[in-house]
Amino acid sequence: MKKKVNFFDSLVFKLIIAIIIGIFLGQSINENLVGVVDAIKRILGDFIGYMVPLIILGFISPSIVSLKDSAGKILSVTLAICYISSVGAATMSLFAGRIIIPHLNIAENVVSANELPKAIFNLEIAPIMPVMTALITSVLIGLSVLWTNSKTWENLLLEFNKIVLAMVDKVVIRFLPFYIGLTFTELSYEGVVIHELPVFLKIILIVIVGHFIWMGLLYSIGGFISKVNPKEVFKHYGPAYFTAVGTMSSAATLPVALKCARKSKVLDAQIRDFVIPICANTHLCGSVLTETFFVMTVSQILYGAMPKIPTMILFILLLGIFAIAAPGVPGGTVVASLGLITSVLGFNDTGTALMLSIFALQDSFGTACNITGDGAIALIVTGIFKKVPGKNEDSINA
């Protein structure tokens, strides 16, 4: 008989408690203790960053090998869906912004935050390779094993997958509540949570509503294409959503996202383990939706008008490409697209700084939308390549 899971022992409960404690702790500690908190948070953050390339290598390459000849087609379809999702989310945000922003009374001043003191000690844990390098390497290794039909490497990759999964379950998952709690301690101390949030509360709430609308649309499409109830996927994504809220990083949330997706019985196992790690770095629909709405808001505040629609369309089409190449780390989308903000939209230094500030306030919720939407992408890809339940694993071609 399967043991019933106690909510108070679940990851969701631990994450909520960590966030609450972090906020209250940030309001009561002094500068010296914040230095200690910052040092510990940096170490835990570096460790999670160190694990991300290993997770990508440990899941994507074995998944490509398991998918056999359809791997290249599934990769192309997944990337195309990620791009369409990001552009679609940004387009929805564009039309919503044109309707809503002119009717909002948005404050024009940003409350400055307290500066964090210098960390009292630093222990740098560098990853073995950058995230995008790991992503490309894992794809090339997986495809090369298929091209050479190497049974030795096939078995090696499958064993490596088990090793990395053990690392995730035994180490990374257990560290996450501490890391998230320390992150919110810093945010609370800086004043971001207490002072800056009320200034932009209206537009942040609007964007969060937009996130859930887009996630609902994605899962509806996934359910239609796969002919299953999408609830069987998103009902497991609570821990991943709250983890993303705390880490503000799709890449750092990847271990939890995989754990959540594995609980769903309607996702094909091989497609799931292939699509979820790829989407963690290529599907940033929530961040793109947010950035589109915010650039219009900042333009209205500083320059008295929103960018023209043709300019915004060009910005959105290019932003979708930048989102695929952006690192799945805190602020990765907006940082990767700073060139678009200045060149296409013509923002000056003040506009860029204000954009970064507002984006940082909601980055956790945009990331949560990204990572939760990945489950819908996996459901869509499963529906495209696995239309018949229980179909033979060696004949996944649609």
Distances (CA, A) of 349 to 310, 338, 342, 353: 23, 11, 9, 6
Residue 317 lies in a domain: yes
**What amino acid occupies position 48?**
I
**How does residue 114 score in pLDDT terms, banded at 50, 70 and 90?**
low
Q: How far apart are CA 64 and CA 90, in angstroms?
A: 30
Coil, strand, or helix at residue 236?
A: coil
Q: CA-CA distance, 115 to 361, in Å (whole number)?
A: 16
Number of domains forming the structure of the chain: 1
Query: Which stretch of 1-5, 213-217, 225-229, 264-268 has the lowest confidence by average pLDDT?
Result: 1-5
Q: Is residue 1 part of a domain?
A: no
Residues 6+ apart with CB under 8 A from 123: 42, 43, 46
Question: Is 2 within the bounds of a domain?
Answer: no
pLDDT for 25? 87
In angstroms, the Cα distances linking 207 to 63, 175, 191, 202, 277 are 34, 30, 21, 9, 25
Q: How far apart are CA 378 and CA 273, in angstroms?
A: 9
CA distance 376 to 230: 8
- Determine contact, residues 291/333, Cβ cutoff 8 Å: yes
Q: Which residue is listed with tokens 């900042």?
A: 298
Instruction: Decide if 381 is inside a domain.
Output: yes
Residue 211 · residue 368 · CB < 8 Å: yes
In this prediction, residue 1 has a pLDDT band, given cuts at 50, 70 and 90, of very low
- Burial grade of 206 (CB within 10 A; 0-12, 13-18, 19 or more): middle
Residue 390 lies in a domain: no
Which pair of structure tokens corresponds to residue 200? Answer: 């932009």
pLDDT at 396: 39
pLDDT tens readout for residues 335-375 = 667 677 877 888 876 677 667 767 766 778 888 999 999 99
Question: Is 397 a domain residue?
Answer: no
Look up residue 137 and give its two tokens: 């390497």
Q: What is the pLDDT of residues 167-194, one digit of tens each?
A: 877 887 788 788 878 877 877 777 655 5
Question: Token digits for 119?
Answer: 């960390």
**Of 346, 359, 288, residue with least CA distance to 317:** 288
pLDDT in tens, 10-30: 666 777 788 788 888 888 888
pLDDT tens-place string over residues 28-66: 888 778 888 888 888 887 887 788 788 778 877 887 787
Q: What CATH number does residue 240 fall under?
A: 1.10.3860
One-letter amino acid for residue 1 of the chain: M
Assign 3-class secondary structure to 246-305: HHCCHHHHHHHHHHHHCCCCCCCHHHHHHHHHHHHHHCCHHHHHHHHHHHHHHHHHHHCC
Quick one: CA torsion of 256, 262, 266, 269, rounded to 10 degrees? Answer: 120
The helix or strand, by DSSP H or E, that contains position 100, with its residue range, turns out to be helix 71-100
Cα 155 to chain centroid distance, Å, stands at 30
Are 371 and 287 contacting, i.e. CB atoms less than 8 angstroms apart?
no
Please give the pLDDT value at position 219: 94
Token pair of 99 as six digits: 């309707």
In a domain, 398, yes or no: no
Residue 271 lies in a domain: yes
Separation of alpha carbons 333 and 325, rounded Å: 9
Torsion of CA 249, 113, 20, 366, to 10 degrees: -30
- Which structural domain range is residue 115 located in? 9-385
Structure confidence by residue, pLDDT tens digits, 302-324 = 777 888 999 999 999 988 877 77
